[in-house]
Amino acid sequence: MYTVTIIFEDRSVSVPAQEGEKLMDVLNKAGARVHAPCGGRGACGKCLVKAEGAIQTDALAPEGYALACRSYVCGDVTVYVLGEHAEILADFDSGKINTDGESGLGVAVDIGTTTLAAFLMDLRTGEVLSSETMLNPQRAHGADVVSRIAYSIESADHAHLLKTEIEEAILSLASSLLIKAGRNGEEISKFSFVGNTAMMHFLSGHSALGISAAPFTPKYTRSFNMPFHGASAFFGGCISGYVGADTIAAMLSANFHKTEKTILLIDIGTNGEIALIHKGKILTCSCAAGPAFEGAHIACGTGAVRGAIDHAHVENGKIVFTTIQNDKPCGICGSGLIDITACLVEEEVISPMGRMQEDYVISENVYLSGKDVREVQLAKAAISAGIDILIQESSITEEDIQEVLIAGGFGNFINLKSACCIGLLPKSLLDKIRPIGNAAGKGARYALVSKESRRNMDLIQSRSGYIELASHSDFADFYADHLPFDALD
């Protein structure tokens, strides 16, 4: 038995490890969640850690470093893990909302594939007392839900680990919320949870086997209540294997249960969800957009962490950019990726078909590659094709759409003109597009304090139809049509 010493920014821990044990497994067991967008298959190179000692590896890495997923312990090892501090949107309204008048404290949680946002609320008044965010610890098992579903069904231990990781993250957030609000020591009596279908299955302990392959049937779809660590908890329902409670919560916050407008709602993320309501009928779909906009599968991609390039524009033929907290650029996050791609399309560095002569260097050690451009093409084509399918199936045209709502923290940060420039969003609807922030989190807050809101979520769920894009006869044609780039006039 050997010892692996893990050096964090603020502490160090030592854990035992067996001969030949994978370094990533050791780190995960010790709570050092290493970012592994590819799910630990050695394909992305993002699990690079600084390591010293007896390590055997079958993957190339800079001297003094190792890919955690392709390295094995063969003696005592010291690993240095730097903290990853993400800028995650957890916006909330300053006003109060209608409640059932219960006493006590509650926590509403939006469980995202990449991030979690939580809100401590006074159940009687509906006031948000504090908010807190964190990166999803399950990212160590893959950047996308498909990787994590595959991991979960490999064994009962894996499924239990995913459940435990998310539970511990929620309890950690709850503790931080109480301290932040000056209510440390008080009890939380109620939780509400929303998230995509996979996240909800992991947390509730339902098997994800049904959503691992066609016809992608969830174990449950209707909302339910169950105990959660001594408190009562509301688990939002799901529409399909890939349109979950977070989308229903977003539709609730956008008043889909009572609107008479024709509204298109889009949540751009690893698994892009789209909903269209027309004359009270709701159609939804899910686009396998891939995790490009979360920083995965991009050579210099990163999450919204300190130093990530978040915005860019062209001045005198040169890309000028900003970074989060104005730190030295360490990579490109989603909003920066959209801006940079749009800049290079407008400057004709990227051809309409997505070709680039060579890697485009943005700053020292940060560049955009031809493969990165392809990832953007695939993601934006999937989302655009999904929009086209919903419009077609609703028997309307783009002109009939009165509002386009962009949900999620990512949507709040992107430059809408850049998104239209690359074809991620319809150019003809630019003037109708409006970011609505963390709409899923807002819906979760409503559900926490109001029975009526929970009933309205169930009503939206029952009225929502789902279109499986992969089996739709026109999807391939729409997808191909949206692959090229077209600069905005």
DSSP track, 85-113: -B-------SS--------SEEEEEEE-S
Integer Cα distance of 122 and 106 in angstroms:
7
Q: Is 232 helix (H, G, I), strand (E, B) or coil?
A: strand
| 59 inside domain | yes
| Residue partners of 326: CB distance under 8 A and separation at least 6 | none
253 burial type by CB count under 10 A (0-12 exposed, 13-18 middle, 19+ buried):
buried
Q: Which of 257, 210, 200 is nearest to 233 (CA)?
A: 200
| Residue partners of 95: CB distance under 8 A and separation at least 6 | none
pLDDT at site 88? 47
Instruction: Measure Cα distances from 281 to 249, 262, 276, 432 in Å.
Output: 17, 9, 8, 20
Q: Which of 249, 113, 266 is nearest to 192 (CA)?
A: 249
| Residue partners of 39: CB distance under 8 A and separation at least 6 | 141, 142, 143, 147, 148, 150, 151
| 87 inside domain | no
Q: What are the pLDDT digits (tens) for 242-265?
A: 999 999 999 999 999 999 999 999
Sign of the alpha-carbon dihedral angle for 413, 419, 425, 426:
positive
What is the domain-level CATH number for residue 8? 3.10.20.30
| 65 inside domain | yes
Integer Cα distance of 380 and 479 in angstroms:
9
Q: What is the mean pLDDT, run by run of 10 residues, along the chain of 489 residues?
A: 76 80 79 64 65 77 71 84 52 67 96 91 95 87 87 96 96 95 94 97 97 93 97 98 97 96 90 94 88 78 83 92 90 92 95 94 92 93 96 97 90 88 94 92 96 97 96 95 75
25 burial type by CB count under 10 A (0-12 exposed, 13-18 middle, 19+ buried):
middle
| 323 inside domain | no
Q: Which of 328, 355, 330 is nearest to 341 (CA)?
A: 355
Give the CA dihedral 87, 331, 385, 141, nearest 10 degrees: -70
The parent domain of residue 40 ranges over 2-80
| 277 inside domain | no
| 53 inside domain | yes
Question: For 22, which DSSP code?
Answer: B
| 156 inside domain | no
pLDDT at site 486? 74
Q: Which of 283, 339, 295, 292 is nearest to 469 (CA)?
A: 283
The token pair at 370 is: 């031809």
| 281 inside domain | no
Reported as type and span, the H/E element at residue 13 is strand 12-17
DSSP per residue, 122-136: ETTT--EEEEEEEE-
Q: Is the peptide bond before 291 cis (omega within 30 degrees of 0)?
A: no
pLDDT at site 144? 81
Domain count, the chain: 1
